[in-house]
Homo-oligomer: A and B are copies of this chain.
Amino acid sequence: MNEPTRIQRRNRDAILEAGLTVFSQYGFRGTTLDQIATEASLSKPNVLYYFASKEAIYIALLEGLLDTWLDPLRTLDADGDALHELMSYVTRKLEMSRDFPRESRLFANEILQGAPHIHGALTGELKSLVDEKAAVIEAWAAAGRIRPVDPHHLVFSIWAMTQHYADFDVQVQAVLGGRDPYPGALAHVTMLFERLLTPD
């Protein structure tokens, strides 16, 4: 009914932004409303004026994020150049890990805890999207545009290798001694998948 006020929009955004920061680090159960309120520079009752509960903030974040997160895969074009499409996907996923690490960690936390809030989306939207794109990849392989690979496990590989740099950032930084991982990561991951997928 009512248009959201300027204040409403600003505070809702601040709460979601704060929630993203805190939830992505401590997970749903490890996060407190006080942390979110402090991070958003609001009082706790004020946070609950905009969201009915802690869970409501969490759900709002997950729902808003799932589409964005799956978008690069959705973009995969069956009519495009097979290798180029897949390499663009890899690159875009890695850039998203670099530019939106909190989003990556939020999902990682949710999955680690058994995905209690998005299990339906995983077996529904996610599965059907992956199955659809797996068929595309299989067709490319059958046509000899890329080397034959198990398409589902190929997708898992891409997810694993790109999101690793966001989810395990602390470890990566520790091992690399603080050097920026991304230039090297981009070169390595690109080379890896090119070698895997380029037909002989």
Contact = CB atoms under 8 A, between A and B. Distances in A.
Interface in A146-190: 149-150, 152-157, 159-161, 163-165, 167-168, 170-172, 174-177, 184-185, 187-189
Contacts of A174: 115, 119, 122-123, 126-127
This chain: how many copies in the complex? 2
Contact of A196 (B25, B30, B150, B192): B192
A74 to B, nearest CB: 15
A108 interface: yes
Contact of A188 (B30, B153, B170): B153
Name A's interface SS: helix
A66 B122 CA distance: 31
A154 B154 CA distance: 17
Interface residues of A, number: 53
A167 B112 contact: yes
A28 B30 contact: yes
A86 B143 CA distance: 32
Nearest to A172: B156
A71 B114 CA distance: 28
B126 A188 contact: no
B185 A153 contact: yes
A114 B170 contact: yes
